[in-house]
Amino acid sequence: MSVAKGTLEIRNLSKSYVVDNNPLQILKNINITFPAGAFVSILGSSGCGKTTLLRIMLGLETSYEGDALIDGEKIEGPGSNRGIVFQDHRLLPWLTVGENVAFGLDKLNRKTKKLLVDEHLKLVGLSGFEGAYPAQLSGGMAQRVAIARALANKPEILLLDEPLGALDALTRMYMQKELERLWEFEKITMIMVTHDVDEAIYLSDKIIIMSSRPGIINKIINIPSSRPRDRASSEFMQIKAEILNEFHLGSEYPFAYAI
């Protein structure tokens, strides 16, 4: 039996911090399965613990109750089977673009390294930029390098922590298309934390909606519609309305607008 690698499961997970001797619950009883090869978004307002959840999956947070499993095995710490794209591109300013992409490939020989770097820079559309320094790049380009760095390690799962949050609206939409293209090409699991509703609908097979204090899962929405998605379609709008309702932002009093 062949098992599709890249399944991530969260079981009965809770986490709390102690603030001034009072426990503050960040996450409460979270249960999710991220199927292999799916694009899943975690959507919520700031403070709902979605980034904490992502850091648990990444292995940077290790103290919590419950289980976080990859392909059935407990997450003990960061590992090369998971890649991460942070909101700030987090490129090392003293390394060139090429060296940044190779950051996780340190153990490979020079030739393989170069091959992988070239391949992934090409993939994100930045061939020829390997000698540039991060400070010379625009925000969108820097984020693409960060994505290349994460993918170069051939992860089973790519974690994205509000990856496009620092970009302007137009670059952002363009990068969403790029992310979709990369996801279709790599055929790996992608888990993205975001607070942008349109972005989540455009990209995801499944959207997990969280609410805060304590962070719990409010609703899980499956989006079966075909890709690429039309942001102006009625189906898109309908899903959007459904999500906004969850945040009590829907037009409950449609007549209010008429006044």
Partner 1 sequence: MSLKFLQRFNVKDRLLGLIVPLFVLALWQGAVSQHLFSELLLVPPLTLWNTIIELFRSGDLISNIQVSLNRVFLGFLLGGSAGFILGVGMGLSPVINRALGPLVKVLQQVPELAWMPMIILLFGIDEFARIFFIAIGAFYPMIFNTYQGVSGVPEKYHELARVFDYKSIRYLSKVIIPSALPSIITGIRLSIGLSWMFLVGAELFGTESGVGFLMIMGRQMFQIDVVMAGLVVIGTLGLIINTLLKKFEQFVLRGRVSFDGGAA
Binding residues (CB under 8 A) for partner 1: these are 58-60, 77-80, 84, 86, 88-96, 103-104, 106, 133-139, 141-143, 153, 166-167
Name which of 31 and 112 has its Cβ closer to partner 1. Answer: 112
| Total length of the chain | 259
CA distance linking residue 164 with residue 172, whole number of Å: 6
CA distance linking residue 248 with residue 61, whole number of Å: 31
Contacts 24+ apart (CB under 8 A), 127-130: 129/97, 130/96, 130/97, 130/98, 130/101
**Residue 93 burial (CB count, 10 A):** 8
**Least distance in angstroms from the C-beta of 166 to partner 1:** 4
Name which of 35 and 165 has its Cβ closer to partner 1. Answer: 165
How far is it between the farthest Cα atoms of the chain? Answer: 69
**Least distance in angstroms from the C-beta of 2 to partner 1:** 28
**Least distance in angstroms from the C-beta of 182 to partner 1:** 19
Name which of 78 and 228 has its Cβ closer to partner 1. Answer: 78
- The number of CA neighbours under 13 Å toward the Cβ of 224 is 0
Cβ atoms of 256 and 249 closer than 8 Å: no
Phi and psi based region of residue 246 (left: phi greater than 0; alpha: psi -120 to 50; beta: remaining): alpha
**Least distance in angstroms from the C-beta of 143 to partner 1:** 7
Name which of 88 and 230 has its Cβ closer to partner 1. Answer: 88
**Least distance in angstroms from the C-beta of 4 to partner 1:** 24
**Least distance in angstroms from the C-beta of 255 to partner 1:** 42
Name which of 67 and 88 has its Cβ closer to partner 1. Answer: 88
Phi and psi based region of residue 197 (left: phi greater than 0; alpha: psi -120 to 50; beta: remaining): alpha
Name which of 57 and 217 has its Cβ closer to partner 1. Answer: 57
